[in-house]
Amino acid sequence: MKLTKRSDQIPAQPGNDSNSGMASGRSAISRRAFLRNSGLMAGGAVLASSYTPGMIKRVQAAESATAGEVQQIKTICTHCSVGCGIIAEVENGVWTGQEPAFDHPFSHGAHCAKGASVREHGHGERRLKYPTKLVDGKWKRISWDEAINEVGDKMLQIRESSGPDSVYWLGSAKHNNEQAYLFRKFAALWGTNNVDHQARICHSTTVAGVANTWGYGAMTNSYNDIHFSRSILLIGGNPAEAHPVSLQHIFRAKERNNAPLIVVDPRFTRTAAHADQYLRLRPGTDVPLIWGMLWHIFQNGWEDKEYISQRVYGLDEVRKEVAKWTPDEVERVTGIPEHQVFAAIKTMADNRPGTLIWCMGGTQHSIGNNNTRAYCILQLALGNVGVAGGGTNIFRGHDNVQGATDLGVLMDTLPGYYGLSEGAWKHWAGVWDLDFEWLKGRFDDGTYAQGNGKEVSQMNAAGIPVSRWIDGVLEDKANIAQKDNVKAMVLWGHAPNSQTRGKEMKSAMEKLDMLVIVDPYPTVSAVMHDRTDGVYLLPASTQFETSGSVTASNRSLQWRDKVIEPMFESLPDQTIMYKFAKKLGFGEQLVKNIQLNGEEPLIEDITREYNRGMWTIGYTGQSPERMKKQQQNWGTFDYDTLLAEGGPCDGEHYGLPWPCWGTAEMGHPGTPNLYDTSKTVAEGGLTFRARFGVERNGESLLANGSYSKGSEIKDGYPEFTDELLQKLGWWNDLTQEEQKQAEGKNWKTDLYGGIQRVAIKHGCSPFGNAKARTVVWTFPDPVPIHREPLYTSRRDLVEKYPTYEDRKSFFRLPTRYASIQAKDYSKDYPLILTSGRLVEYEGGGDETRSNPWLAELQQEMFVEINPRDANNAGIKDGDDVWLEGAEGARLKVKAQVTRRVASGVAFMPFHFGGHFEGKDLRSKYPEGADPYVLGEACNTAMTYGYDSVTQMQETKCSLCKISKA
């Protein structure tokens, strides 16, 4: 496809000229060249050594500058979860340049194209500039006061007539930690669990699968820890485009340890181009492949028997399932020849420790939770979990999707994964210093039957997942387990084109009473419907216009300083939340213990508040002061271990990766690798969590003869409570005040921290020491099994591997499985449709497609199609084609004819939007806020299908047909 300079074709819109990206003369030409190179080179990752002379210079960060001086401010890239460091250069309050941070512990001066152009995001000339509403089909500028009053009045009216659950608060992985926490608290104080964010549709199946295997639902090790890997198995991920700088860590293992890289993907990606072994998998067959690998492990006795007997529960039940996956059956279902499966797993067995990396290729399936659990089981069988160089390195997507998940922007939990039980609410009511009964009174007082038939009050019932909000609007009210349908949607930092069933979403948007978009950009929510009123666009500031912490994929918290004051009339999220809370009648409660600066809640006070409550996952030790000190001392952390060597942070791990136990004063260094027993807990070691009881069917679930270094209990043990401390004779190790606070509490609910402190003093993990479990008896498939996708082209496999029965109520909604799979769509829609990322763009793509320098790099929405399928349809490379999804949505895109995809498979990137079924919607954007690049959203054509535990959407295997336009 020919690249044209799109930013020159379209005149710049009115904006702040002095700040516009194109006006930065000093480095404009060289940076454009750099961006072009970084977008096009394999992998998209650019290491410091690949910069041309003169493009960059080494800078010294300074805290302040006098007028006229260049101030260098440390910040973190706002695009992906790698968390690269950036030095922003600011002159007289204007962000004039940016430089790589050579001493940053994760990135060492490397950026990809997105990170190298964040200044243009901050100063984005296509941003929303002031509050706007749709009146008779035209955008009308309004003041913030008008916006808050009008939106607030409507919400209160909906609350009165339909109850609090009829307003849906959709939050964001783009919030920093403090905003994410405040957002979840805001929804709680409004009185609903209809709150969620992007994690639902990227890694919810990971969180559920991994947490239910060994305790915590997060990446176990870190990008840097891959330096110690002796082999790398990467499934369903394309980090060369999605997490470019992570490749420098993978390459280090290849170069230093000669670690073979095995890539499993239906598409020959830019990452696969670096692989030693590439396995082309039929989309949706991860479980058969993993069980096929385990079949060889068990057949050859390659499993780590001692590790399994000490630390793994239930593997014999898995063996029975694995026995069914003989090499010929694996080949029949996955399409991968036996010798390739054998070679891959022999490589992993011969080269330990090995790490297993996965991304959304593994998670976005109706059996996503089965996939993630199967990956964990493979690593457990090899003894690869809890060791440097091993683990499950799950690459999260957005820059703060890990943090927003941890802080509970989710419909099924409060912050810190406390859940929604009465105990959980009482815990947080205590932290918030609010009366529990008052909180309870904020919710709908009705009870509704859940999926298990039990009547539960709305305060304790999970809300509607973001993947299903459209059904919350469109479904017959009688079928929804809440008082009324969703009537108002607030999309706060969320691109709707990242979700499936675009045509139904359009209908849902049109049926709502009100649609509110809070975002630095209008997003396609502003244009994809045919509404003429009831839509509000409220300009939020970017993360460069506020400060706060952000959690990288590896659980490290990094502090971002404010780079510039909020541009245009934008406001930081925390200020907008407070304005709304005041209008809606709970402003005082929202900020009861948080200082206000005008109407802006103090970020550091928000950190301190969640520090007081996040005991479950150890977000208690990362005080603002500790995070800021680490930020000022980036260069003192070792690039391999992330451990500070000397200096003010000596002995701490970078980012105080959670769990960072106890209070900040306790000085825990953070936990670099989860479940690593070779270190003391005080140094960051850990056991598997005793989360699922101590016994099942007469068999102990606790660890057997395995414990962390220095543990005074030389065996498994349950989680710590006041009673356990008494029994162990350790009660008197608590101070008198600690004893008073710990009475009747456990390690999660003791707000004073004494229980955690004393457990760690005796070398123990506060959460106990158990086996990891390979059988999750509370899930629909206790042992992961294969089920064909809802829309499958392999009708011959449906009888043997059917999907689930339809469910009457699953997170408040009926959910279809078998009734869809019953129909054969494959004759009319013969191609498997899958999706993924491009290096140039991020998420729904609004901010990156509005960045002039990124927009130049990738200007057309396209579909990759194999030459055989293209030739049979008379399609040539570059032709316009119609792609029709199995539910009838039609997209007009360019054909890219390539062998990257196999015959029978089509691939589309998911960052585009602004076209809808062949129509260009550019004229519908507010003036000056249309992204440079528009295109069809791939998810318009993606079909129904949701994970059986989390309601993750199924975007990695649908069906379509393609014809010449």
Positions touching ligand SF4 (CB under 6 A) are: 77, 79-80, 82-84, 107, 111-112, 114-115, 243-245
Query: Across the strands, what pairs with 696?
Result: 699
Minimal CA–CA distance to 94: which of 21, 14, 12, 18? 18
> How far apart are alpha carbons 549 and 552 in whole angstroms?
10
Q: How far is the CB of 673 from ligand SF4 (least distance, A)?
A: 21
Tokens representing 492? 């706060």
Question: In sequence order, what E strands does 642-704 have?
Answer: 695-696, 699-700
Both tokens assigned to 313 = 């529960």
**Least distance between ligand SF4 and beta carbon 857 (Å):** 13
Does the bond joining 337 to the residue before it have cis omega, within 30 degrees of 0?
Answer: no
| Residue 852 beta carbon to ligand SF4: minimum distance, rounded to whole angstroms | 17
Contact 159, 167 (CB under 8 A): yes
CB of 932 to ligand SF4, least distance (A): 19
φ, ψ for residue 472, nearest 5 deg:
-60, -25
The nearer residue to ligand SF4, 112 or 664, going by C-beta atoms, is 112
CB 712, CB 758: distance < 8 Å: no
Provide, rounded to whole angstroms, the least separation between the CB of residue 754 and ligand SF4. 38
Per the CB < 8 A criterion, the answer to whether 616 and 416 are in contact is yes
Q: Single out the residue of 899, 900, 902, 860 nearest to residue 881, CA to CA.
A: 860
**Least gap, CB of 838 to ligand SF4 (angstroms):** 12
Contact 739, 731 (CB under 8 A): yes
Please state the three-class secondary structure of 409-449 as a single string: CCCCCCHHHCCCCHHHHHHHHHHHCCCHHHHHHCCCCCEEE
User: Could you tell me which residues are beta bridge partners of residue 517?
Assistant: 491, 537
Query: In this complex, which beta carbon is closest to ligand SF4, that of residue 111 or of residue 961?
Result: 111
Which residue number has the CB closest to ligand SF4?
115
Shortest distance in whole angstroms from residue 847 CB to ligand SF4: 12
Q: Which CB atom, from 472 or from 548, has the smaller least distance to ligand SF4?
A: 548
User: Residue 243 or 555: which CB sits closer to ligand SF4?
Assistant: 243
Q: Considering the complex, what minimum distance in angstroms separates the CB of residue 245 from ligand SF4?
A: 4
d(Cα 194, Cα 188) in Å, to the nearest integer? 9
- From the CB of 565, what's the least distance to ligand SF4, in Å? 23
Are 962 and 906 spatial neighbours (Cβ–Cβ below 8 Å)? yes
Closer to ligand SF4 by CB, 114 or 129: give it.
Answer: 114
Nearer to ligand SF4 among residue 107 and residue 206 (C-beta): 107
Report the greatest alpha carbon distance in the chain: 81
Of 112 and 833, which CB lies nearer to ligand SF4 in the complex structure?
Answer: 112
* β-strand partners of 363: none
Whose CA is closest to 194, among 463, 391, 12?
A: 463
| Least distance between ligand SF4 and beta carbon 244 (Å) | 5
Three-state SS for 854? helix
* 3-state class (DSSP) for residue 935: strand
CB of 551 to ligand SF4, least distance (A): 13
Smallest gap from residue 247 Cβ to ligand SF4 (A):
9
Indicate the pairing of strand 94-100 with strand 85-91: antiparallel
Nearer Cβ to ligand SF4 (194/198): 198
Please state the separation of Cα 808 from the chain's center in Å.
28
The two beta strands, 392-394 and 958-964, are unpaired
- Is 357 or 414 the residue whose CB approaches ligand SF4 more closely? 357
Which helix or strand (DSSP H or E) is residue 588 part of? Answer: helix 587-590
| Residue whose entry in the numeric block shows the structure tokens 């709680």 | 188
The phi, psi pair for 391, rounded to 5°, reads: 80, 175
State the nearest-atom distance from the C-beta of 622 to ligand SF4, in Å.
20
Rounded Cα distance, 401 and 391, in Å: 20
Residue 529 tokens read as 């419907």
Q: Closer to ligand SF4 at the Cβ: 112 or 388?
A: 112
Closer Cβ to ligand SF4, 107 or 673, answer by number:
107
- DSSP-assigned letters across all residues of 875-905: --TT-EEEEEETTS-EEEEEEEE-TTBPTTE
Nearest to 803 by CA among 240, 794, 906: 794
Closer residue to ligand SF4 (CB): 82 or 863: 82
CB of 355 to ligand SF4, least distance (A): 18
Q: Which two tokens stand for residue 336?
A: 């991968």
Beta bridge partners of 74: 87
- Cα 265 vs. chain centroid, distance in angstroms? 20
Choice between 112 and 348, CB closer to ligand SF4: 112
Of the two residues 107 and 340, which places its CB atom closer to ligand SF4 in the complex?
A: 107
Instruction: For the CB of residue 893, give the shortest distance to ligand SF4 in the complex, in Å.
Output: 25
Residue closer to ligand SF4 (CB basis): 87 or 297: 87
Query: Smallest gap, in angstroms, from Cβ of residue 731 to ligand SF4?
Result: 46
Rounded least distance, CB 431 to ligand SF4, Å: 31
What's the closest the beta carbon of residue 106 comes to ligand SF4, in angstroms? 8
Q: Which helix (H) or strand (E) holds 723?
A: helix 722-728
- The owner of tokens 């000056």 is 928
Q: Rounded to whole angstroms, how far apart are CA atoms 279 and 272?
A: 9
CA triple 689-693-694, angle to 5 deg:
90
Nearest residue (CB) to ligand SF4, 244 versus 935:
244
- Answer yes or no: are the C-beta atoms of 870 and 922 closer than 8 Å: no
Burial class (CB in 10 A: 0-12, 13-18, 19+), 427: buried
- Compare residues 32 and 111 and give the one whose CB is closer to ligand SF4: 111
Q: Six-digit token pair at 668?
A: 């825990």
Residue closer to ligand SF4 (CB basis): 112 or 189 = 112
